[in-house]
Chains A and B, each alone.
Chain A
Amino acid sequence: MNDPRLHFNTPLKTTPFHPRIAAANRLNAWGPWGGYSTALVFDDEAMEHTAIRNQASLYDLSPMTKYRVAGPDAAAFLDRLTIRNVAKLAVGAVHYTAWCDDEGKVLDDGTLFRLAENDFRLCCQERHLPWLLDSAFGYDVTIDDETESVAALSLQGPCSFAVLKRAGLDAVAALKPFRMAEFAIGGIPVMISRTGFTGDLGYELWTAPDYALALWDRLFDAGSLHGLRPIGTNALNLARIEAGFIIANMDFVPADIAVRADRARSPFEIGLDWMIDFDKGHFNGRRALLAEKQAGSSRWALVGLDIDGNVAADHAIVYAGRTREVGVVTAAAWSPSVKRNIALAMIERPFHAEHSGDLWVEIYALRELQYQKLMMRARIVDRPFFSHSRRRATPPAEF
């Protein structure tokens, strides 16, 4: 079964945690993610979401695309590649970033880990090896796909620190948000970063695939008194909408795979312009982005919406003044955490500003085979929809 040619027998691979996940997946609800079979729900989506906000949750992150960028020019290369300033990223720190093509359109967003002075890990949703390699012309770096050689878990929720502490990792207490350090849990080497996709207190744990099952077991041993439960993608997706996070190919189309050229978006158009450091020197897309900024020529705005009623507005059309189509909802949910009907939406400028008090969302609610058509008022609100001081408190509280 080690014959690499036989991959066609398993078009969806399993992650290093699969034996545990399959055993816990009572609903047998699976979905594909990046070529892997991943759990959508284990047993109860609502309870899994509740675990993220109330106890502790464990999500298998392994399918996330991971590139290792190393070499004497690694920092300079990443500064050229991404829009954020890598010089400001300390060793042992992580930052959320994005990268663009030369026309200033976003290719992807992701997290950049500075493992050592000249050693980085770039985590993202899509695959970019040709772009990374081409962008590295002239730089002394090596770029390797390490998606398969790193197993990763996301431990999130108010009790997530308590779980780690019970597992013997008191030292994690000192870890500030967006910091990482090497630890060992019962002899298992694990790199822990205080990061996540839920907007809550949480950690991501990175280890070698060989240690995956032992790590899973240790965490559940420690977590049993803290309500730790495995969660599927559906619960995580609800939490990330509450946190206001975006996902490539859901909230924007990566410029290099957009068939329709007008679907590409700049950082200004998906709310990532705060990352751009125009003063750091040249980076891919800088000239176009500067021109866009100076001309004010951005055409779209990604905004958070608070929508009347309680019917989620997935993929609904957004109107200004009830009649003029000005955009589309990219993600939506009734939020159990904030008790509001929330959404992310891509809205044509300048309607997001000029008509912010007069936006409407058309929702088709299918109720027992009849559509109830709703025209609901929507207000633009700041993201995140949900935030809590426990996310940033250092040392973290235990619940």
Chain B
Amino acid sequence: MKFHDAIVVGAGHNGLVAACYLAKAGLDVLVVEKNDWIGGAAVSRSLHPGFTYSNCSYVSSLLRPEIMRDLDLPRHGLQILPYEGGAVFTRDGGYLAMYRDHDANRREFARHSPRDAEAYDRYARDILRQCRFIRPLLMRTPPDPTSFKPRDLSELAFLGRKFFGLTETERYDMIRFWTMSISDFLDEYFEHPVIKAYLAVSAIIGTALGPMSPGSAYVLLHHYMGDVDGNVGAWGFARGGMGSITQALAKSLEAAGGKIRAGSGVARILVEKGRAVGVVLDNGDELRARRVISNLDLKRTFLTCVDEKDLPAPFVKQVRRFKTRGSSGKLNIALDGLPRFPALPDGSPCIKGDLHFTDSVERMERAYDDWKAGHFSADPFQDMMIPTLIDPTMAPPGKHFMSCFVQYAPPKIEGRDWGDADRDAFAETVIAQIEAHAPGFRNLILHMEVRTPRELEAEVGLTEGNIFQGELTFDQLLFNRPVPGASQYRSPVKDLWMCGSTTHPGGGVMGAPGRNAAAEILRDARKPLAMSDAYAVL
């Protein structure tokens, strides 16, 4: 039987990133994937002739440029396209747009509130300050605050120096920012409800928090801390859909000598004498390896694939309590033509960006109230995009792919499993909302893929459909991610590692967890680290 240096469980972007770095360091790496295709939640599939969907994740900003360079992803086909602006439609038939041009954006804000138009620079400055604090932490293993190892002490000192290097005001601001709600945070800068509604979006996407929940301001930062070619906070499309990120990673892996085996998932991670020694696939095949690296979320790894008897009881308790509350769903739609939004003037570029239909923070909070009650939102919030206005590869000319990210959708409907009728009713809330702003939209639909937390869990393997593989709340971040004592990509089982978004620095198509995990594995294996240091934040 072939014996691998490493088996990576799951061919998502972080599993592939980890596999690439290990293979480049000379390890014999095999990635196993349950689906017939690879990519996890960074996937492009063709479900209707001529159309390609970004089936799960749909925009890119967080993918670290160091990883793109180290793994030569552009040479393997990756292209990130910045996109233009966006808009939120209002119930009175108007809209607020965002423009990439600073002056156009100021004038657009001024149409709604002259005061807010001039407050935006200060807001952007304060967010950028937070980004400058957090970005250097993304590519570092969090310190264990209880350890006296020199590395942990020096990393703790690094954190401390960063914090105490701030001015007094910045320290107040930072503690408040990391703990407050996005609604309270925006109230400090802005007065106009539509402006606040547009800006609050990044703070709720993917999380089971409402805009008025404490901790949601951090989620905003999580969506702002990336960049497109150094433009911090900017987002873009991956040409060909988000699957082209994982396709490029797969090619990079192949070039480095790694292998991928798709079509059969891991039924069990083999643990012998407290060590992970391999995996058993769903088809019964047994594969042996020096170490096993799980790209699955914490719960799926330890509650499904590992026998609980092989784990310390306190750890099992922590894993069971780990918050993976799904909150979102998605509609991927093939359109026969471009929908027309009468509110937008002809030639408006904002249709090429993210479009929203929720014009107040309070409406978002009400949508969240439905989630708390165990329903999908009757008046959902959506982040809607038409990537084919920029990317010509995803639909035939004149036709369009529309991606609708939708909140809120609970993991269960009033405690019971989602049924097909629930799914269809969920889709209808979304379509009705778009139709209300784009009459005739419904008639353009050629095909539609509807994904609730049920589909996300069944297909992608995300427990409860949580797109971040675990909530991005402060109690589950940094050295508490995924759980205290297991933040350095290691687990209580020797040679069983974690590399998914469930680990620091968390979700989004970032690759940093995979890269950081590979760094720890290679350090333990005493192999040279062939990776770039994090780019300096100047």
- CB within 8 Å of B: which residues of A? 3-9, 11-13, 32, 34-35, 103, 127-130, 133, 145, 256-259, 261-262
Contact = CB atoms under 8 A, between A and B. Distances in A.
B346 to A, nearest CB: 9
B132 A8 contact: no
Nearest to B350: A8
B104 interface: yes
Contact of B119 (A13, A130, A261, A262): A130
Contact of A130 (B118, B166, B167, B348): B118
Nearest 7 Cβ contacts at the A-B interface: A35-B103, A129-B118, A11-B104, A11-B101, A127-B118, A130-B119, A261-B167
Given A4-B111, A133-B115, A256-B125, A12 B345 contact: no
A8 B99 contact: yes
A9 B347 CA distance: 8
Nearest to A12: B103
Given A11-B101, A11-B103, A35-B103, A261 B166 contact: yes
Contacts of B118: 127-130
A13 B106 CA distance: 12
Contact of B170 (A9, A130, A261): A261
B128 A11 contact: no
B417 interface: no
A32 B169 CA distance: 33
B347 A257 contact: no
A107 to B, nearest CB: 10
Nearest to B538: A260
A396 to B, nearest CB: 38
A257 B122 contact: yes
Given A3-B345, A5-B111, A11 B99 contact: yes
A6 B129 contact: no
Q: Give the dominant DSSP class at B's interface.
A: helix
Contacts of A3: 345
Nearest to A8: B104
A214 B535 CA distance: 56
Contacts of A133: 115
B114 A145 contact: yes
Interface string B190-212: 00000000000000000000000
Contacts of B122: 130, 256-257
B349 interface: yes
B121 interface: yes
Contacts of A103: 169
Given A8-B101, A13-B103, 17 more contacts: A8-B104, A8-B108, A8-B350, A11-B101, A11-B103, A35-B106, A129-B118, A130-B119, A145-B114, A256-B121, A256-B125, A257-B122, A259-B125, A261-B129, A261-B166, A261-B169, A261-B170
Contacts of B101: 8, 11
A6 B189 CA distance: 26
Interface string B89-130: 000000001010101101110010011111101100100110
A259 B132 contact: yes
Nearest to B99: A8
A13 to B, nearest CB: 8
A4 B97 CA distance: 12
A275 to B, nearest CB: 24
Contact of B128 (A7, A128, A256, A259): A259
Contacts of A127: 106, 117-118, 121
A342 B348 CA distance: 47
Interface residues of B, number: 31
A261 B126 CA distance: 10
8 contacts: A7-B104, A7-B108, A8-B97, A8-B350, A13-B103, A127-B117, A129-B118, A259-B125
Contacts of A8: 97, 99, 101, 104, 108, 348-350
A16 B170 CA distance: 42
A322 to B, nearest CB: 26
Contacts of A5: 111, 345, 348
Contacts of A7: 104, 107-108, 111
A130 B125 contact: no
Contacts of B129: 259, 261
A32 B118 CA distance: 18
Contacts of B189: 130
A129 B116 CA distance: 9
Contacts of A259: 125, 128-129, 132
A34 to B, nearest CB: 8
A261 B168 CA distance: 10
Contact of B345 (A6, A34, A129, A145): A6
A145 B113 CA distance: 12
A258 B442 CA distance: 48
A7 B115 CA distance: 18
A294 to B, nearest CB: 20
B106 A129 contact: no
Nearest to A128: B118
Contacts of A35: 103, 106-107
Interface string B145-172: 0000000000000000000001101100
A258 B103 contact: no
Contacts of A130: 115-116, 118-119, 122, 189
Contacts of B121: 127, 256-257
A258 B167 CA distance: 13
Instruction: Kindly name the residue among A6, A11, A130, A259 whose own CB sees the greatest number of chain B CB atoms within 10 A.
Output: A130
Contacts of B132: 259
Residue in B107, B169, B170, B350 with the greatest tally of chain A CB atoms within 10 Å: B107
B526 to A, nearest CB: 40
A5 B104 CA distance: 10
B103 A32 contact: yes
Nearest to A129: B118
A128 B121 CA distance: 10
A378 B108 CA distance: 47
A133 to B, nearest CB: 6
Contacts of B350: 8
A145 B125 CA distance: 22
Contacts of A258: 125
Contacts of A129: 114-115, 117-119
A316 B357 CA distance: 50
A13 B103 CA distance: 9
Nearest to A102: B169
A129 B122 CA distance: 11
Contacts of A34: 103
A303 to B, nearest CB: 26
B348 to A, nearest CB: 6
Contacts of B125: 256-259
A127 B106 CA distance: 11
Nearest to B116: A130
Contacts of B104: 7-8, 11
B473 to A, nearest CB: 27
A5 B90 CA distance: 14
Interface in B319-375: 345, 347-350
A81 to B, nearest CB: 15
A256 B119 CA distance: 10
A11 B101 CA distance: 7
Contacts of B169: 103, 261
Nearest to B190: A130
Nearest to B167: A261
Nearest to A36: B103
A12 B101 CA distance: 9
Contacts of B349: 8
A122 to B, nearest CB: 14
A284 to B, nearest CB: 15
A256 B167 CA distance: 14
Nearest to A144: B114
Contacts of A6: 345
A6 B114 CA distance: 17
Nearest to B104: A11
B195 to A, nearest CB: 13
Interface string B420-449: 000000000000000000000000000000
A261 B129 CA distance: 9
